[in-house]
Structures are given as C-alpha cells and as structure tokens.
Amino acid sequence: MASAQQFEEGTTLDRFLMDTMREYPHATGQFVNLCQSMALAGKMISARVNRAGLAGMLGAAGGQNVHGEFVQKLDLYANDVFKASLEHRGHTCMIVSEEEGGPVLVPSRYESGDYVVTLDPLDGSSNIDCNATIGSIFGIFKRKTPTGTPATREDVVRPGDDLVASGYIIFGSGTLLVLATEAGVFGFTLDPTVGEFFLSHPALKIPKGRIYSVNEGYRAQWQPGVVSYIDGLQRADKPWKARYIGSLVADVHRNILKGGVFLYPATPGSPQGKLRLLYEAFPLAFLVEKAGGAATDGRVRILDLHPEDIHDRTPLVIGDADAVARATELMSADPSF
Ligand code: AHG
Ligand code: MN
Ligand code: MN
C-alpha cells in the first residue's frame, strides 16, 4: 500500500485504492472492490440516517437479535444494505454480522470471493433516536479454505491477528470512512453533494491524551483494578477529562484523534464484558494498533485472543499505548480479575 504522503487531500477513495493496488502486481482487484462496496453501503446508510426521522426509521423493529437485544429499524436496514452491497460482487464468500444468528454464505447464484467480512452493521443503536453519533464497524479476513468451496467456521473463528484490514464508517456531523490496512489508517470524508469519499485524514496516528471513556454507571460493579485506575486519572495533577458517547465507534474515533483510553470492563453480570470480539473489538483493535495505539481485554492483547464462537464477547481497553498499558497493568495485577 502506498504511503499516505503520496496522496494530497482531496484524493477520492477510488483513486486511493486504484493507485495503491498498483503496488501489488498480483492483486486481483477483489480487495479494492470490497472497499468500494463498503463505501456504497456507507453512502446508503448515511442518507437513511440523515433522514431517519422522516423515513420511519426511528425506533425498534419489534424483534430481538440473537443477543436478546431489541433491534432498531436502522440496525436491520444497515444489515440488509451491507449484505446486498457485499454479496454479488465476487469478493466476499461469507459474512458474520451482529444481526445474524450464524455466518451468512454468499448465495450460490453469485461468485464467491476470497474475503470474509465481520460486521457490526450499526453500532450505538441506543443513540439513533436521540440523534447522537452512530457507526458501522467491519473486519476483513482472507479465507483459509480453498476458493470456490463453501466457506466454513475455520475462515472466521480465528485470532484477530489474522485480519488483513478493518475499518468503520461513522455517521456524525459528517460521514467518515476510516480504513486500516497493513500500510496504515486513512480517513475519507463523504461529500454528499457529489456522493464521493475524499481523503481527509492521511496516515492517522493516535496521540497521547488525557481523556477516559467509560460508563461510570457501572462503577459499583467494577473490579478493584478498574476503580484504582479511574481514581488515579481523576486524582492526577492534571485530572483527565471524561467523555462517553455510548457509541463504541464514536468514543474510539474521538480517542484516535485526541488520545486517551476507552474501557468496557467485565462486570459480575457480564463476566466477558458486553462488546463482541469478532465485529467490534477485533476490527477496532487492528485499526488502533495500525494507528500506533493498543488494545487489551485488561490482561492480554485483543488481537491474540481466539474466539470459540462468532458472537463471543470480551472486556475492552483501547486507546493510546501508554494509557492502555497503565490500565492493563492495574487490571491484570488485580487477583479478583
Ligand atoms: P450496538 O449498538 O452495536 O449493540 O453496540 C452498542 C455498544 C457500544 O456501541 C457502546 O460502547 C456500548 O454498547 C454502550 O453500552 P452501555 O450502554 O452499557 O454503556
Ligand atoms: Mn456495537
Ligand atoms: Mn450493532
């Protein structure tokens, strides 16, 4: 992948992808095509999010997903849009989505590609109706099983270190697609007047910061290591700022730009935490590490974890490397953890 300084701001996503593909003589074009599918889905969801109140897209869809969570209409819309954008272009063989009970194989009427996509189609659903920032999160694996055969669990139930790319699309004051590959992390802002994503954040690197992001409503349930870490931040000579949007993608994006740490610890009620490994923690951990940050579960590196099931959960500590190291030191030293 070309280094970001070769691209001036204003480069379109398509040009960025085509120019960087030239560095890979054996590239088939599937990865570029996959990223373009993600961009199309992002444009469609952005249009719907921006007029959700007018398009009858607010509120619950009336059902619960495999996690027993009440599904919002926009969760289902986003899930359908991603599947429709990914299934027929010959780059993907299987999709694992928060909103699907099991892995979804690309229908046999379409050509099956080399990539497996893990997906949180809409993250931060509780924020939809109050017009707060939400987003979509994706991880990309290269299949292990032979091309042309049906993909299997082996292609997706695997360590996060196997990811080849990941990203998110954040629907806030603007729509931003952030893509992480082996070459780094690049942000593209959607210009809705022309319907194009333009490079706006070349080579994102996470700075050291003094922002912590955690739901303090659970403080009484935290293990002592988390309590002492947060107390230490609040009692520092220069106390840290608290920011919590309640959308993982928005909280992590802010910390990538400003530094600091996001925590979603385990609690007695959720001993594995709330966040899902395959389509929330893995993609964001891959991306934050490419931006120079770190991500652990409070003890070990997130990308070293090996899921048992596609919907496994994990505690998450993610942000600038210094902050994550200090939090992990206190949490892992805690015998109760
Ligand atoms: P999702 O909407 O995909 O279910 O994700 C919601 C997650 C995540 O976005 C956020 O960090 C977390 O839920 C907030 O949980 P709490 O309300 O328990 O803080
Ligand atoms: Mn989510
Ligand atoms: Mn979701």
Say which ligand is closest to the CA of 75. Answer: 3
Q: 53 is written with which tokens?
A: 């109140």
Q: What is the pLDDT of residue 1?
A: 45
Q: What is the pLDDT of residue 195?
A: 95
Arithmetic mean of pLDDT over the chain: 93
Q: What is the pLDDT of residue 243?
A: 98
pTM score, two decimals? 0.95
Q: What is the pLDDT of residue 64?
A: 72
Nearest residue (CA) to ligand 1, atom 16? 246
Q: What is the pLDDT of residue 253?
A: 98
Smallest CA-to-CA distance from 277 within 250, 311, 232 is with 311
Q: Which residues of the chain have pLDDT under 70?
A: 1-9, 52-57, 70-71, 337
Domain residue ranges in the chain: 4-201, 211-332
The order of strands in the sheet holding 165-171 is: 104-105, 92-97, 115-123, 134-142, 165-171, 175-181, 184-191, 196-201
Q: What is the pLDDT of residue 25?
A: 84
Smallest CA-to-CA distance from 209 within 169, 240, 234 is with 240
297 lines ligand 1 (CB under 6 A): no
Decide: helix, strand or coil at residue 37: helix
- Ligand 1 geometric centre to CA of 143 (Å): 29
Which amino acid belongs to residue 153?
R
Q: Are 292 and 150 in contact (CB under 8 A)?
A: no
Q: What is the pLDDT of residue 128?
A: 86
Q: What is the pLDDT of residue 298?
A: 97
Measured distance CA(236)–CA(143) in Å, rounded: 47
Domain 211-332 matching CATH 3.40.190.80: the answer reads: yes
Q: What is the pLDDT of residue 126?
A: 87
CATH class of segment(s) 4-201: alpha beta
Q: Rounded to the nearest 5°, which phi and psi values hold at 137?
A: -125, 140
